[in-house]
Chain A
Amino acid sequence: MMKESRPGKAGAPGGQHSGNAQSDKPYRAGSSTMTAVAERPLRPAAAQAGRKAILQSESTQGLALISPTLLYALVFLFVPILVVIAHSFWTQHYLTIDRTFTLENYRVALTEPIYRDLLWRSLYISVMVSVLTVVFAYPIAYYISFHGGARKGLWLFLITIPFWTSYLLRVMAWKVILGYNGVLNSGLVGLGITSEPTTALLYNSSAVIITLTHAWAAFAVLPIFVSLEKVDRTLVEAATDLGDGPLRSFLRVTLPLSMPGVIAALLIVMIPTVGDYVTPKLVGGKDGVMIANAIQAQFGKAANWPLGAALSVTTMAVVTAMAGAAVLILRRAARLAR
């Protein structure tokens, strides 16, 4: 527990910036960040100091206040990712790691058919899932924003609640639904639509796509809703007054203006789903395995950390490139529509 609080280090990054501000700081600030911050702007002395000094000290205080959280993110997120990148250039020799620089892991990650196929499949699944989620989410976000009236908050709450239940449990629920002895099969047979249960529902990439699309729904609705809320309603009105039909005014005004939300939703769904582990493992079967399962194997049974690291870095790089491409294409499309 000591790691998190670290009162000594908390003030350190702020301290670097406090050089100029130090002069008009008659009282100690380092020991208790919270107190110092509450205290600082209230003293008349500060009000009398020059405008620049106030700005200076304001940034010092802001930085000092955020520094524990920043430090935590640096130590447990930023540095670890650098460590992963470093590992990806090293080699595993049984239990030790050889730290001579090599690109061998990347060669394996990019050219070995098994990893290449897994990467492609992961990308395909994440693109499908993000596009489907956004397509399904847009009308509901639109409905809430334009027709929600006084019940907007309730609608949003209704949509986010299932998302707050355990991800593992939701995936498990889909396994129950799609299984050979599952809800859908027994329902179909019971209704006489099929004569015997089908195995086509579970253990393939479609099952993974369905499950993930369901799991990420709320994540897509929220950013689209936020950007639709910002659309100036009088513009829609103006387009209608100038003779655009409902569909045309939607395509030429509302949709382009809500594009930032669509882009955000796509990325928020696409990036995390590339690295999904639970869903392919539970409902994917042999044909639904994704790159995260291979990464996990390298850190588990296969015990080849550098290869696992290279696979992770490759995945991140590819998904970042793809996300960038999606942003560019959609921005261009939105501009053309106007």
Chain B
Amino acid sequence: MKGRFARFLPGGRWLGLYALVYVIFLYLPVIFLPIFSVNTAATPKFPLTGFTWKWYEQLPHTPALLDAAWNSLVVGISASVLSTVFGILAARAITRYRFPGRRPINGLIMAPLVLPEIIIAISMLLVMLQLGLSLSLFTVVLGHILICIPYSMTVLTSGFEGFDRSLEEASADLGETAFGTFRRVTLPMVAPAIISSLLVSFTISLDEFMIAFFLTGTEPTLPIYIWGQLRFAAKLPGVLALGTLLLLASFLMMTLAEILRRRAANRAHTEGGVYA
């Protein structure tokens, strides 16, 4: 591929260099967080003063932080499970059936991806208050489901596409019930995509600030907690340490999700024959 077209294309070597610089630019700011989280000085500046774990050691002794972490966990698990359920239904409908209004419906479901978050946040806030719902972690979960669904859909659609329908038919012909077919044929093929969707939605919920900021009552999630801490310069190293841990968590979950998503896509395309 590469060799054949390379001579028609302008400046591959320079572009390669540019790509390298670009990736460094993308990663550089993110890398400063871990660097300064193990620096002894309380202000993040060069030269570095020395190595320490003390900012990390303080974290488990901050009750407000532990509460926020627990809240984030509860919200993240609820939002990811529910958005994945909604995503499964919609992705299955989109990839398998033709029905009127398919595109506009898909557009509406995917809309949170391109709407300014503040618009989503204030419109949900208005409705919650009109309905007389008091703001709580529950309202945050409702908001997070809405913004996670498009991501779940994307991941699940790529897992469901190219899904071989004849496998399900074969299963039915061989006497399996509809539920049995779903459990023993459909589910194993789409399981990696589903797990990947759970991880992606959990990561988004864990990192989401804007909607939680508007829709939470007195219980902060982790980003809200961090937001509160940012006002105090003295708290910065602790925030950097916490931020580093969150980065690590996001990074691990996304890597896992990507591996699973690829496996799902490959399986639906190639291994389908083996299963039949």
Closest to B44 in A: A176
Q: Mark out the residues of chain A between 117 and 136 whose CB falls within 8 Å of any chain B CB in the assembled complex.
A: 136
Across the interface, do B45 and A37 meet the contact criterion of CB distance under 8 Å? Answer: no
Q: Tell me the smallest distance from the CB of A18 to a CB of chain B, in Å.
A: 11
CA distance A250 to B10 in the complex (A): 8
For A250, list chain B residues within 8 Å (CB). Answer: 9-10
How close is B244's CB to chain A, nearest CB, in angstroms?
Answer: 9
Contact partner, A72, options B12, B118, B145, Cβ 8 Å? B145
Contact yes or no, A58 B116, CB < 8 A = no
Contact of A59 with B9 in the complex, beta carbons under 8 Å: no
- Interface size of A by CB at 8 A reads 108
Task: Give chain B's interface secondary structure class.
Answer: helix
Contact of B232 with A by CB under 8 A: no
Q: Does B275 contact A (CB under 8 A)?
A: no
A56 to B59, CA, bound (A): 59
Contact between chains at A38 and B99 (CB < 8 Å): no
Does B97 lie within 8 Å of A65, measured CB to CB? yes
Stretch in contact with the other chain, from A199-207, A233-241, A327-335 = A233-241
Min C-beta distance of A102 to chain B, whole Å: 18
Q: Contact between A1 and B78 (Cβ–Cβ < 8 Å)?
A: yes
Decide yes or no whether A167 CB sits under 8 A from chain B. yes
In chain B, positions 142-168 with a C-beta closer than 8 Å to chain A are: 142-143, 145-146, 149, 165, 168
Mask, A35-47, CB within 8 Å of B = 1, is: 1111101100000
Interface string of A55-96 (1 = CB under 8 A from B): 100111111011011101110111111011001000000000
| Cβ–Cβ contact A168 & B223, under 8 A | yes
Shortest CB-to-CB span from A166 to chain B, Å, is 4
Between-chain CB contacts (< 8 Å), 25 pairs: A1-B82, A5-B85, A62-B97, A65-B93, A66-B89, A66-B94, A69-B86, A70-B108, A80-B124, A164-B251, A166-B247, A168-B227, A169-B207, A169-B246, A170-B29, A172-B230, A182-B45, A183-B32, A187-B46, A190-B47, A233-B5, A237-B5, A246-B8, A267-B114, A312-B123
Tell me, yes or no, whether B181 is within 8 Å of chain A by CB: yes
Contacting pair B178 A4 (CB below 8 A):
no
Q: Is A3 an interface residue (CB 8 A)?
A: yes
Determine the chain B residues whose CB is within 8 A of the CB of A159 once the complex forms: 22-23, 26
Residues of B within 8 A of A169 (CB): 30, 33, 207, 226, 243, 246-247
A225 within 8 Å of B (CB atoms): no
Contact residues in B for A260 (Cβ distance below 8 Å): none
Contact B98 A58 (CB under 8 A): yes
Complex Cα spacing A38 to B180, Å: 10
For B100, the chain A residues whose CB sits under 8 A away are 17, 59, 63
Contacts A76-B127, A214-B25, A278-B209 given; does A35 touch B44 at CB 8 Å: no
Residues of A within 8 A of B6 (CB): 147
- Which of the residues A58, A80, A84, A172 comes within 8 Å of B239, measured between beta carbons? A172
CA distance A92 to B18 in the complex (A): 54
Q: Using A70-B109, A144-B19, A164-B254 as known contacts, say yes or no to A309 and B122 having CB atoms under 8 A apart.
A: yes
Asked if residues B29 and A62 are in contact (CB atoms below 8 Å), the reply is no
Residues on A with C-beta less than 8 A from B271 are none
B207 touches A166 (CB 8 A): yes
With known contacts A169-B33, A268-B114, A274-B116, A62–B96 Cβ distance under 8 A: yes
**Contact, CB under 8 Å: A275 / B247:** no
- Shortest C-beta distance, B148 to chain A (Å), equals 11
> Counting chain A CB atoms within 10 Å of each CB, which of B9, B32, B142 scores highest?
B9
Once A80-B124, A214-B29 are accepted as A-B contacts, the answer to whether A246 and B223 lie under 8 Å apart by CB is no
* B247 CB contact (under 8 Å) in A83, A165, A277: A165
On whether the beta carbons of A217 and B250 are closer than 8 Å, the reply is no
Q: Which of B146, B172, B246 sits near A76, CB closer than 8 Å?
A: B146
Supposing A166-B246, A186-B45 touch, asked if A246 and B99 sit within 8 A by C-beta, the answer is no
B274 CB-CB contact with A under 8 Å? no
Residues of B near A65 (CB, < 8 A) are: 89-90, 92-93, 97
Q: Is the CB of B126 within 8 A of A87?
A: yes
Residues of A contacting B11 in the complex (Cβ-Cβ under 8 angstroms): 246
| B56 beta carbon closer than 8 Å to chain A | no
Cα–Cα, bound, A83→B125 (Å): 10
Whether the Cβ atoms of B127 and A83 lie closer than 8 Å is yes
Report if A58-B97 is in contact (Cβ < 8 Å); known contacts: A38-B182, A183-B45, A190-B47. yes
A185 at the interface (CB under 8 A from B): yes
Out of B97, B118, B243, name the residue touching A59 (CB < 8 Å). Answer: B97
On whether the beta carbons of A77 and B111 are closer than 8 Å, the reply is: yes
Q: Tell me if A70 and B32 are in contact (CB < 8 A).
A: no
Beta-carbon nearest neighbor of A246 in chain B: B10
- What per-residue 1/0 map shows which CB atoms of A19-44 lie under 8 Å from chain B? 00000000000000111111101100
Asked if A312 and B32 sit within 8 Å, CB to CB, the answer is: no
Give A158's nearest chain B residue, CB to CB.
Answer: B23
**Residues from 67 to 120 in B contacting A, C-beta threshold 8 Å:** 78, 82, 85-87, 89-90, 92-94, 96-102, 105, 108-109, 111-120
Cα(A295)–Cα(B179), bound, Å: 49
The reply to whether A149 and B45 contact each other, CB–CB distance below 8 Å, is no
**In whole angstroms, what is the CA distance A217 to B21 when docked?**
13
Q: Once bound together, how far apart are the Cα atoms of A295 and B45, in whole Å?
A: 34
Query: A4–B86 contact, CB under 8 A?
Result: yes
